[in-house]
Amino acid sequence: MGKTTGFLEYRRVDGPVRPEKERVKDLDEFHASLPLSEQKEQAARCMDCGIPFCQAGCMISGMASGCPLHNLVPEINDLVYLGRMTEAYRRLSITHSFPEFTCRVCPALCEAACTCGLHDKPVATKENEKAVIEYAYENDLVKEETPAIRTGKKVAVIGSGPAGLAAAQLLNRRGHEVTVYERSDRVGGLLRYGIPNMKLDKSVIDRRVKLMEQAGVKFVTGKDIGKDIKASKIEKENDAVILACGASNPRDIKAPGRDAEGIRFAVDFLSEVTKHILDSDKKSMPVELAKGKNVIVIGGGDTGNDCVGTCIRLGAKSVTQLEMMPCPSESRLPSNPWPEWPRILKVDYGQEEAIWKFGADPRVYQTTVKEFIKDAKGHLKEVVLVSLEAKKDEKTGRMNMVPVEGTEKKVPADLVLIAAGFLGSQSYVTEAFGVETDQRTNVKTAAGKHASSKAGIYTAGDMHRGQSLVVWAIAEGRAAAAEVDFALMGYTNL
């Protein structure tokens, strides 16, 4: 696969990125692609390693290693290297529903497990994937064929995030009549309102949804099932229902002063920003949300980083990102060997922009908010930060991060964005459909299955497995579609 000596002849080169001083002026995508001639060289680095961990998608030490979709990465890389882009797209589309999403937002589990990455930089699989799918769109190769024969079965998909879209795509191709319900005003779920436009331009979602609509998938927006439409009505009108509503319960910060005005959940904030730019057709940004404000972001993950980058674009006076855990090492520790997911220090785009604008990495490790302080009008004006240390819980034996007495300090804060993760599905949906949930409030199923405790009701994505990645959601949606199809037809070819 690839060029036999390619990994020796070519160094890794990523696509060009707009400099910070330019990209912070707008909310457009800033990561461009290499010319195809150069991308072919990157594909040539795939080294015919013999055991392609990149496509394994298995769990090692509790972490995913390789692609959960089991994309045949070496084959795709080889076809890109040879310039056979049409064949590369056909190969990729067999296992992948939406490469245009993951090539922009996935952390590239495939690259983390790349054999070439053991001693050198891994193969640029994510950008190879982007080259393939964008070539396919440019050359009118991407189709959502309308089935020649319909089965007469109807399926409702609740939620239009990556899991719901993937399930709807395959079930429609199979010939079932599929209706996707979305409570927001636009299709996309997490893709639309949980990921900033500079990472995933929303036109990328729109072009795929348009193809799915043309192929027969029905989308109903602005309808919250369990509130606007009764679950019983959905069940009565359909032969099967897939719940793909995501893990929508944000984890809160319980501290004195939490009721102060100026404390928001990160996804609500990001959603408002995205809705504004979509409603204004990108003609304006809602700078009033952060301009001139001292911003504290609680959470060191992807959503926290997105908040950092967004607030800089909106003109924040300062941005500080709090991380409860210690700062990771800059390289793998012996306890974290390849091909495990590397637990190492990474500087994402938001942190890069903060370093450029403010002169320092915005992250403060082993720190959280102990108290929110408000002024006489109830507006947030300061937060009390406290350092944390790891201590073993004598009852459970687990290590917990606990406050260190005497380390408290006040810092100015006009806006706090809570990006501390999610706790599971929202109860009004699961109660409306009468399905059991597990201790994490996810919809309960048998191991490796997607059928809920109630006949005819299935689940997929974050609502099933908890907060996770877009690539896992797509894999879940595809697997749920196959399970539903088998139940409806007695066999499946999905």
| Residue 144 belongs to a domain | no
Cα–Cα dist 5/116, whole Å: 12
Local structure of 476: helix, strand or coil: helix
Task: Please check whether residue 257 lies inside any domain of the structure.
Answer: no
Residues in the chain: 494
Is 127 a domain residue?
A: yes
| pLDDT exceeds cutoff 70 at 284 | yes
Whole-angstrom distance, CA of residue 306 vs CA of residue 195: 8
Other Cβ atoms within 10 Å of 341 Cβ, number:
18
**What torsion, rounded to 10 degrees, do the Cα atoms 102, 105, 107, 110 define?**
20
Domain count, the chain: 3
Using 50, 70 and 90 to split pLDDT, how confident is the model at 1? low
Q: How many CA atoms within 13 Å lie on the side-chain side of 153?
A: 19
- Per-residue H/E/C for 346-388: CCCHHHHHHHHHHCCCCEEECEEEEEEEECCCCEEEEEEEEEE
Please list, in sequence order, all residues whose beta carbon lies within 8 angstroms of the beta carbon of residue 212, skipping any fewer than 6 positions away.
144, 165, 168, 169, 172, 219
Is 177 found in the same domain as 84? no
Same domain, 220 and 272: no
**For residue 50, what pLDDT is reported?**
87
177-182/218-221 β-pairing? parallel
Judge whether 149 lies within some domain: no
pLDDT tens for 411-435 read 999 999 999 999 889 999 999 999 9
Q: Which residue, 383, 418, 453, sits at the end of a domain? A: 418
The verdict on 235 and 294 lying in the same domain is no
Using the structure block, give the residue that is written with the tokens 């799915």: 212
Domain identity same for 116 and 165: no
How far is Cα 101 from Cα 199, in angstroms, rounded to an integer? 10
**173 and 145 Cβ atoms separated by less than 8 Å:** yes
Buried b (16+ CB within 10 A) or exposed e, 146-183: eeeeebebbbbbbbbbbbbbbbbbbbbbbbbbbbbbbb
Q: Which of 42, 118, 104, 108 is nearest to 71 (CA)?
A: 108
Alpha-carbon distance 43 to 77, whole Å?
Answer: 5
Residue type, 105: V
**16-61 pLDDT, tens digit each:** 999 999 999 999 999 999 999 999 999 999 998 989 999 999 988 8
So what's the pLDDT on residue 63?
A: 85
pLDDT class for 450, splitting at 50, 70, 90?
Answer: very high
Residues 315 and 437 in one domain: no
Three-state DSSP at 255 gives coil
Q: How far is CA 168 from CA 67, 158, 163, 326, in A?
A: 21, 10, 9, 41
Say yes or no: 45 and 180 in one domain.
no
Same structural domain, 412 and 294: yes
Shared domain for 368 and 237, answered yes or no, is: no
Q: Is the pLDDT of residue 257 over 80?
A: yes
**Tens-digit pLDDT profile for residues 357-370:** 999 999 999 999 99
Query: How much of the chain exceeds pLDDT 70, in percent?
Result: 100
Mean pLDDT confidence for 95-119? 96
Q: Output the pLDDT for position 355.
A: 98
> Of 418, 451, 477, which residue sits at a domain end?
418
* CATH code, 61: 1.10.1060.10
Same domain, 409 and 428: no
Kindly report whether the peptide bond that precedes residue 74 is cis, defined as omega within 30 degrees of 0: no
Give the integer Cα–Cα distance in Å for 493 and 333.
44
Question: What percentage of the chain has pLDDT greater than the value 90?
Answer: 94
Torsion, Cα of 185, 186, 191, 196 (10° steps): -70
Q: With H, G, I as helix, E, B as strand and everything else as coil, classify residue 186.
A: coil
Domain of 332, in residue numbers: 263-418
Instruction: From 99, 114, 138, give the residue that closes a domain.
Output: 138
In a domain, 145, yes or no: no
Inside any domain, residue 91: yes
**pLDDT > 80? residue 2:** no
Q: What is the pLDDT of residue 3?
A: 87
pLDDT at 397 over 90: no
* Mean pLDDT within 100-111: 97
Residues 306 and 406 in one domain: yes
pTM of the model: 0.96
Same domain, residue pair 475 and 334: no
Is there a single domain that holds both residue 238 and residue 116?
no
- Residues pairing with 363 in the sheet: 321
Interior/surface letters 354-370, b for 16+ CB within 10 angstroms, e for the rest: beebeeeebbbbbbbbb
The overall average pLDDT reported for the chain is 96
Domain of 469, CATH number, reads 3.50.50.60
pLDDT band at 373 (very low <50, low <70, confident <90, very high): very high
Residue 147 domain flag: no
Is 278 within the bounds of a domain? yes
